[in-house]
Amino acid sequence: HEYQIETPGLYSSNSLAANIDASALQQELESIVDGGGIDRVFGTVNVVRTPYVPSDQIRWSGGYTWMITFASRGGNIPALGTDDTDLLGSGVQLEISDEDSGAADTFQGSANSASFTIDDPGTARDGNQVSGSFALSWDGNLRHGAVTSSSVFTVQTGGSGTDRFLALPAADMESLITQHIFGGIANQIDVIRSSTPTQWMAYT
């Protein structure tokens, strides 16, 4: 996930039959693991295959749609890519439908959605993922007055460095709190971030 790795890798399946059944596609996707050969890239998935007849045709010509549900992978999964080089037939198309859930629906800073040229079912749903920014307030004490910040605390590191898409690290969070809550007075707080995110790519 881009919150955890500066440059996420590109992963590909084996060549798939044009009529691959649901269970075989499930096995193919679940067999793709990361470089260490440990973690499933897509986690566990559920696949449903249905025959597809385009709305501008009157009979079936061998096409299918596959609805893939990512059951265990955290966060919003980037839109899949396709390679239709080896598909045979007249007017053959291989397309992905991935919900456009708004301005925050990005991957590595670019918009991340896709739809069918025709007959998009509108059933694709993005995974739930924390993003954006938030504000903090503090009631103060005898030394520091009450403070309410603006939404300067970002979920991702931001900026222009190679780490800009990573989840905000503890040191940066501590720096922001020091600046916006404690008026720049150092050594007022220690911040520790959880080592792993939740299913929603959130940290504590």
Residue 9 pLDDT exceeds 90: no
pLDDT tens digit sequence for 181-194: 999 999 999 999 99
Q: How far is CA 63 from CA 60, 95, 166, in A?
A: 7, 12, 39
Q: How far is CA 166 from CA 88, 103, 105, 157, 196, in A?
A: 41, 18, 15, 6, 13
CA distance 90 to 107: 33
Q: 18-22 contacts: CB < 8 A, separation 24 or more?
A: 18/62, 18/87, 18/88, 19/62, 19/64, 20/49, 20/66, 21/49, 22/47, 22/48, 22/49, 22/66
Q: For residue 157, what pLDDT band results from cuts at 50, 70 and 90?
A: very high
pTM of the model: 0.85
pLDDT tens digit sequence for 78-99: 989 999 999 998 888 999 999 9
Q: For residue 19, what pLDDT band results from cuts at 50, 70 and 90?
A: very high
Q: Percentages helix, strand, coil for the chain, rounded to the nearest 5?
A: 10, 15, 75
- Provide the sign of the torsion angle of the four alpha carbons 18, 24, 25, 29, taken in this order: negative
pLDDT tens digit sequence for 21-68: 999 999 999 999 987 778 899 999 999 999 999 999 999 999 999 999
